[in-house]
């Protein structure tokens, strides 16, 4: 039976459609340039992981891009909001027979192979593994079974996401484990913490 799979939610890189909070202060083109760097970083730290990897595009699949065809399976996101898109991506991959699945985005320059590997290492002893982000969200969510309630009634893209996710885990009596807290790139101040171009 297939065991481990990684889902990567990505947005098709287009000015005005990515890193909108960042673009509000540095402009659409510079925000797009930062997003391209984040895509390259995420592809780099995931492509050699010895597990199956599924890239879910926001709008349309691209045959030749940073997500090499020999390393990544490609699909399209479906859903009205982020929660629905994540739930549907998990559903799609669980239905393929995988039993341990993690999901990440493309916003976290501190994410590395070791942290993703750690999530899968922790899963056999936990129902859920969460990678908390410093802004109150999370950069990784992993599970062994699909828990629908983790994707509903969450205030997405706010500082409440992690807290509300943990509350749901407690209500469902799910055993969970945290990875280290990392920073992601959402606003101009975040750029100061990393060697990302803002010019």
The DSSP-derived string for 8-52 is EEE----TTTSSHHHHHHH-HHHHHHHHHHHHHHHHHHHTTSSSE
* Separation CA 67–CA 43 (nearest Å): 6
State the average pLDDT over residues 174-197.
86
Q: Is the pTM of this model over 0.85?
A: yes
Three-class SS state of 169:
helix
Distance of CA 16 to the CA centre of its chain: 20
Contact (CB, 8 A) for 132 and 162 = yes
pLDDT at 16: 93
pLDDT at 199: 42
* Separation CA 40–CA 46 (nearest Å): 10
pLDDT at 187: 85
pLDDT at 15: 94
User: pLDDT tens digits for 19-35?
Assistant: 998 999 999 999 999 99
Going by pLDDT thresholds of 50, 70 and 90, the confidence category of residue 188 is confident
pLDDT at 54: 98
Contact (CB, 8 A) for 69 and 114 = no
User: pLDDT tens digits for 45-59?
Assistant: 999 999 999 999 999
What is the share, in percent, of the chain residues with pLDDT greater than 90? 89
Going by pLDDT thresholds of 50, 70 and 90, the confidence category of residue 198 is very low
> How much is the mean pLDDT over the chain?
94
| Domains observed in the chain | 4-191 (3.90.550.10)
User: pLDDT tens digits for 116-158?
Assistant: 999 999 999 999 999 999 999 999 999 999 999 999 999 998 9
């Amino acid at each position: 039976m297939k065991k481990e799979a990684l889902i990567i939610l990505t947005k098709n890189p287009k000015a005005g459609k990515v890193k909108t909070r960042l673009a509000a202060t540095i402009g659409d083109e510079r925000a797009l340039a930062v997003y391209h760097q984040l895509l390259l970083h995420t592809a780099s730290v995931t492509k050699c992981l010895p597990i199956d990897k599924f890239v879910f595009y926001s709008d349309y699949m691209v045959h030749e891009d940073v997500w090499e065809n020999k390393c990544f399976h490609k699909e399209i996101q479906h859903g009205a909001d982020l929660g629905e898109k994540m739930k549907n991506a998990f559903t799609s991959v669980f239905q393929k027979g995988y039993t341990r699945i993690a999901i990440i985005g493309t916003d976290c320059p501190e994410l590395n192979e070791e942290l993703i590997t750690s999530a899968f290492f922790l899963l056999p002893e936990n129902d859920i593994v969460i990678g908390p982000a410093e802004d109150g969200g999370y950069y990784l969510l992993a599970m062994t079974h699909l828990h629908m309630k983790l994707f509903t009634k969450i205030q997405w893209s706010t500082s409440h996401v992690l807290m509300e996710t943990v509350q749901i885990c407690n209500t469902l009596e799910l055993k969970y484990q945290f990875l280290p807290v990392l920073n992601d790139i959402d606003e101009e101040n975040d750029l100061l913490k990393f060697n990302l171009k803002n010019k």
